[in-house]
Structure 1
Amino acid sequence: MSASQPCSEVGVPRWTRTALESVLERAAVTSAQVADRFPLFADPGTGRWTTTGRGSWTGGFWAGLLWLRARYTGDTGDREAAVRCTDRLTDWVDADTATRGLILWYGTALADTSEAAVLQGRAAHACRHAYDGELGLVPWGSAFGGPRLLARVDGVPGVVPLLATVDARAAESHLRRHLELCLDEDAISWSWRYERPGSWTPCDDPPPGWSRGPAWLLLAVADAVHHLEADDLKDAVRHLADMRAVPPADEGHPESPLDTSAAAITAVALLKLGHTDRAVALLDELVHAHLSADGGLLDGCYDLASGTATRHELIWGNFFLAQALAAVTGLIGPHEA
């Protein structure tokens, strides 16, 4: 495999380029295995993927990974695979879910087609239409069942840059309301239910020690600092950037399995915020302790509470690892996705 864009030789550890090539080669193997379905998580022993037909909330990460591979190889076939995958995300525009941010921002941000640009624009306007001025945010929605009027931390990343393209004020309100709720000193919670005007109740799922809670929020803040020029947020969430190693899936239970995907998300956020040395330190651990010989990021935890894929390769873990490595090596800019 040869890169379509040369990486800077200055200050870039050689292992980052080797790791990026390995992760993107794994994407090619995954593509052949899953065909026209979307990968969710892979068994750490066999490498076989559990898939879904529509992509669920993770479909955009698979499309984004394919776009990274196409950027790296410059191969027409890789680009066509990425185009087809992004096209299959179109139905999510009209779905009532704040995870449109995860699906349609990451599925389009690295794309280079007019069709993807149109899809991203439709997604941005759909988020704006779903924005609730009384709540001050885009609610979680009903697409995946359960109560619709929720504020969940994983409904923030992706929505912020999407909304910023059409309504900066709504984008900032969406983020700041989640910061206000999720970082409440009296009741740390990553999910809140709207009960009545002005009243929010914390939910038990996900738990307060959830590994991806602070990672998702830090990523959204990093995007807000860039897209909204909200520099004051850097100090407001400084403690979110304290991750020094791969965290347990639930910090309330230190014996729980690790979650490498949370560290990969954090590495991307740190790069966006300009904390390159800390991001590279996290990447060093991910690559040298958790990357398989064939390029899969192992030891990710999909859902600890249900026991689903608790020590597995996760498609978003692979994507964020690849995104961080691509930014470090100069293949993409830190704010391209």
Structure 2
Amino acid sequence: MSGSQAHGDNAVGLPRSVRPALESVLDRVAVTRGQVAGRFPLFAEPGTGRWTTTGRGSWTGGFWAGLLWLRARHTGDTVDREAAVRCTDRLADWVDADTATRGLIFWYGTALADTPQSAVLRDRAAHACRDAYDGELGLVPWGSAFGGPRLLARADGVPGMVPLLATVDAQAAESHLRRHLELCLDKDAMGWSWRYERPGGWAPCDDPPPGWSRGRAWLLLAVAEAVDRVGADDLQDSVRDLAAAHAVPPADEAHPEGPLDTSAAAITAVALLKLGHGDRAVALLDELVHTHLSDDGRLLNGCYDLTSGTAIRHELIWGDFFLAYALATLTGLVGPHEA
């Protein structure tokens, strides 16, 4: 399937299941909205579907807002739209938080929104992130909002940050991406998190582990965003290195018989659609929909954190978002580069 074909729901591999799958996931959004009572869903038990929630959204709040906007666009219902507006407005507390995950929070939480206040919120967040950009390090540091050392470079601090920064400073956005690629794809010491120390420079960290499923997925998504937003067309070698997976990956490559991580596959599918690799994206989506999506729209077998044993076979809010976004791209509900 070519990139131009990716907007029809008769795509190779998912000829008739795209729309029913999308409707199922977005129906689940309405159920979740009723369950969480104004809080932000984080992950849900595979058996009961009961959500663990957070009051302020943590680094995942933007994905819940994004799901609400997808549902609002799908239904055209005023109640759905008002819920999306309220949720997006609640992200404002994170504008001045010292964290590179503001990319995840504000890009995916506002990109599908269509209100003046969401545009203002996105602009405020973009400028705050630009102010946090460290010219010496060539990136926006991971930050101190979640504890631990501030001067970190982590793979999950790149997606969302690239398009968000690019709205105010394309050069900073490209530098942020390239510095992370330079560190994380180092042939001699590949890793998804690096700490900067004065003196001494960058040193790899053990957490997340080298086999972490979402490391490649997050960076591939960031590269796809950069190709579209800042014209970084020379990154094809990085695409080949990062897009090697053809199936749902294990949560940790060091434990191939352990839990899978469907959220990593959903992220990868979105990145592949953005890059025009429709056949590969559809193959991943086919596996997700027919093997891991429950009848009531829950993407199961996501792994939040294998090291700590947290939610290792669960429904994850970002997994739901990226699956829904990929399916919505195939149906033409959204364009591949809207978020």
Quickly name the TM-score band, shorter chain normalised.
over 0.9
SS in 2 for 1:212: helix
Equivalence for 2:29: 27
Equivalence for 2:324: 322
- The alpha-carbon deviation at position 197 of structure 1 amounts to 5.4
Partners of 1:122 and 1:280 in 2: CA distance: 36
Contact 1:303 1:309 in 2 (8 A): yes
Q: CA offsets per residue over residues 101-150 of structure 1, 9 Å max, x none?
A: 00011000000100000000001101100000000000000000000000
Q: How does the TM-score come out when normalised to structure 2?
A: 0.96
SS in 1 for 2:163: helix
Q: Please, which moves more after superposition, 222-231 or 235-244?
A: 235-244
Letter in 1 for 2:146: F
- The alpha-carbon deviation at position 256 of structure 1 amounts to 1.7
Partners of 1:236 and 1:216 in 2: CA distance: 12
Partners of 1:54 and 1:231 in 2: CA distance: 37
**Which of 293, 304, 329 lines up with 2:306 in the alignment?**
304
Contact 2:153 2:195 in 1 (8 A): yes
Equivalence for 1:39: 41
Q: How does the TM-score come out when normalised to structure 1?
A: 0.97
Number of residues paired by the alignment?
331
- The alpha-carbon deviation at position 198 of structure 1 amounts to 6.5
SS in 2 for 1:57: helix
- The alpha-carbon deviation at position 234 of structure 1 amounts to 2.0
Equivalence for 2:140: 138
Contact 1:189 1:203 in 2 (8 A): yes
- The alpha-carbon deviation at position 241 of structure 1 amounts to 1.1
Equivalence for 1:254: 256
SS in 2 for 1:247: coil
Equivalence for 2:246: 244
Determine what percentage of the aligned residue pairs are the same residue.
Answer: 82
User: 1:9–1:307: structure 2 CA closer, same or farther, 3 Å change rule?
Assistant: closer
Equivalence for 1:120: 122
Equivalence for 1:281: 283
SS in 1 for 2:104: helix
Residues 91-240 of structure 1: matches in 2 within 5 Å?
91-196=93-198, 199-240=201-242
Equivalence for 2:4: none
Q: CA offsets per residue over residues 155-207 of structure 1, 9 Å max, x none?
A: 00010001101111100000000000000001111000001256101000000
Q: CA offsets per residue over residues 34-87 of structure 1, 9 Å max, x none?
A: 011000000000000000000000000000000000000000000000000000
**Poorly superposed stretches of 4+, deviation over 3 Å:** 7-12
Contact 2:9 2:19 in 1 (8 A): no
Partners of 1:316 and 1:206 in 2: CA distance: 18
Q: Are 1:90 and 2:122 counterparts?
A: no
Partners of 1:35 and 1:334 in 2: CA distance: 31
Letter in 2 for 1:229: G
Equivalence for 1:3: none
User: 1:293–1:164: structure 2 CA closer, same or farther, 3 Å change rule?
Assistant: same
User: 1:109–1:198: structure 2 CA closer, same or farther, 3 Å change rule?
Assistant: farther
Q: RMSD of the TM alignment (CA)?
A: 1.0
Partners of 1:27 and 1:96 in 2: CA distance: 29
Partners of 2:255 and 2:270 in 1: CA distance: 26
Contact 1:156 1:178 in 2 (8 A): yes
Partners of 2:306 and 2:238 in 1: CA distance: 29
Contact 2:9 2:18 in 1 (8 A): no
- The alpha-carbon deviation at position 306 of structure 1 amounts to 0.5
Contact 1:225 1:234 in 2 (8 A): no
Partners of 1:129 and 1:121 in 2: CA distance: 12
